[in-house]
């Protein structure tokens, strides 16, 4: 099945049109942009374990946005900063179908979250004339604060976390026998945590007008680097992490992220590379460092969908997999909502 998936992917990419139409991959100035969304994926793992496929479904719903308005003001003649913010919600779900009797989708990860983003754009062009091409090419320098004041990750199960535990009449799980080493209940063990996360990034966009809407200069290529922290505190609203899980999960994580993307590369309307590294300040049975590097191609004419390949190493991110380390090459289809930003030229 994996070789068939590869063949289909290569065939689709080679046969995609040579159209220079980048419209689905560019956000028009003034429209509500999606900055660093999670993306929707359907993919396979190698080396193959017992997973038939894995999926992540993560549509971002924008509640309030002024970043679109900031993109109308960023190319102002005084090169003054233009600020914008966005409040959004993402009802994210991750699931794995296992190669077992009846192919179960076992213990999906339910991961809804609210996101607040604050961005500061500034035209870093050395040119003074706002009506020259060089002025409007930027680059645009931006600082991005990406904060998740509330994120939830649970698996909707009600069993005890360890196989050696039983739930008493009071609803609490206690060990039914003395144990020297505990096994995580992978069948229906309850996993739940609420987290807070914040990342600050520097972002640079190089613009040109080819393929952009009338009056706009659109990003031709961009890069972004950031650092942040994720906390999983006890007692943070209902469903927060319990003390036993907290000792094993690695509740405090230092984050480092990087991204680069370019418009119209070979047959890719958007070609991107993303990386995310987490350092777990406490780790039991898994490495302190987890990381992933992902490359993706979104062909023109595919409506914003594309193909990706990712290498992941470290603590398994799938709820009850927290006590295992995995090294996987993942590949498949993705629907990314992120688009290249456009900025409006200053009219007379």
Partner 1 sequence: MYATLSYDVISGSTPVDDVRQLILSACGDRQKCDLLADTLICRVKNTADYLELARALRKVARDTDGQCLFVVTLHSAGAPLRSNASFQQACADAIIGPGD
Binding site for partner 1 (CB under 8 A): 23, 131-133, 136, 208-217, 345
For 94-130, give the secondary structure using H, E and C: EEEEECCCCCCECCCEEEEEEEEEEEEEEECCCCCCC
Of the two residues 23 and 289, which places its CB atom closer to partner 1 in the complex? 23
Q: Which residues contact 135 (CB under 8 A, 6 or more apart)?
A: 75, 123, 125, 127, 128, 129
Tell me the C-alpha distance between 112 and 89, whole Å.
7
Residue 137 CB, shortest distance to partner 1, in Å, is: 8
Nearer to partner 1, 37 or 211 (CB): 211
Q: Minimum distance between the CB of residue 242 and partner 1, rounded to whole angstroms?
A: 53
Tokens representing 84?
A: 């914008």
Kindly tell me which of 24 and 233 has the beta carbon lying closer to partner 1.
24
Min separation Cβ 156 and partner 1, Å: 44
For partner 1, the closer CB: 123 or 199: 123
Q: How far is the CB of 115 from partner 1 (least distance, A)?
A: 30
Radius of gyration of the chain (CA): 22
Give least dist CB 133 to partner 1, A.
4
Assess whether the previous peptide bond of 47 is cis (omega < 30° from 0): yes
Both tokens of residue 82? 């233009």
Pairwise CA distance, residues 315 & 323, whole Å: 7
Q: Which is nearer to partner 1, 10 or 20 (CB)?
A: 20
Is-contact 156 108, C-beta < 8 A? yes
What is the closest distance, in whole angstroms, from the C-beta atom of residue 347 to partner 1 in the complex? 8
Nearer to partner 1, 30 or 291 (CB): 30
Residue (17 or 149) nearer to partner 1, CB: 17
Alpha-carbon dihedral 176, 177, 182, 185, rounded to 10 degrees: -30
We find the least distance from the C-beta atom of residue 51 to partner 1, in angstroms, to be: 41
In terms of Cβ atoms closer than 10 Å to its own Cβ (0-12, 13-18, 19+), residue 214 is exposed
Q: Identify the sign of the CA torsion 222, 227, 231, 237.
A: negative
CA 242 to chain centre: 26
């Amino acid at each position: 099945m994996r070789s068939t998936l590869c063949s289909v992917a290569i065939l689709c990419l080679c046969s995609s049109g040579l159209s220079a139409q980048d419209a689905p991959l560019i956000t028009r100035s003034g429209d509500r942009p999606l900055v660093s969304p999670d993306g929707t994926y359907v993919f396979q793992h190698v080396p193959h374990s017992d997973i038939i496929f894995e999926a992540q479904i993560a549509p971002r719903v924008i509640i309030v946005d002024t970043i679109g308005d900031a993109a109308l003001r960023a190319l102002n003649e005084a090169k003054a900063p233009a600020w914008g913010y966005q409040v959004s919600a993402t009802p994210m779900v991750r699931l794995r179908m296992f190669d077992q009797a009846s192919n179960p989708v076992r213990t999906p990860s339910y991961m809804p979250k609210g996101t607040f983003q604050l961005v500061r754009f500034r035209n870093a062009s050395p040119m003074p004339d706002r009506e020259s091409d060089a002025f409007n090419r930027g680059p645009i320098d931006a600082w991005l604060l990406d904060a998740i004041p509330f994120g939830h990750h649970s698996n909707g199960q009600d069993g005890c976390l360890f196989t050696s535990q039983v739930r008493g009449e009071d609803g609490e799980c206690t060990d039914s026998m003395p144990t020297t080493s505990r096994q995580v209940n992978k069948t229906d063990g309850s996993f739940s945590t609420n987290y807070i996360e914040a990342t600050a990034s520097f972002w640079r966009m190089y613009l040109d007008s080819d393929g952009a809407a009338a009056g706009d200069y659109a990003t031709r290529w961009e890069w972004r680097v950031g650092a942040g922290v994720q906390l999983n505190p006890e007692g943070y609203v209902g469903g927060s992490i319990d003390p036993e899980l907290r000792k094993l999960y690695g509740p405090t994580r230092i984050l480092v992220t990087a991204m680069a993307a370019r418009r119209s590369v070979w047959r890719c309307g958007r070609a991107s590379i993303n990386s995310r590294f987490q350092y777990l300040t406490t780790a039991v049975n898994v490495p302190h460092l987890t990381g992933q590097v992902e490359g993706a191609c979104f062909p023109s004419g595919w409506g914003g969908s594309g193909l990706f390949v990712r290498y992941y190493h470290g603590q398994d991110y799938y709820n009850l997999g927290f006590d295992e380390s995995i090294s996987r090459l993942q590949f498949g289809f993705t629907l990314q909502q992120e688009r290249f930003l456009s900025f409006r030229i200053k009219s007379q």
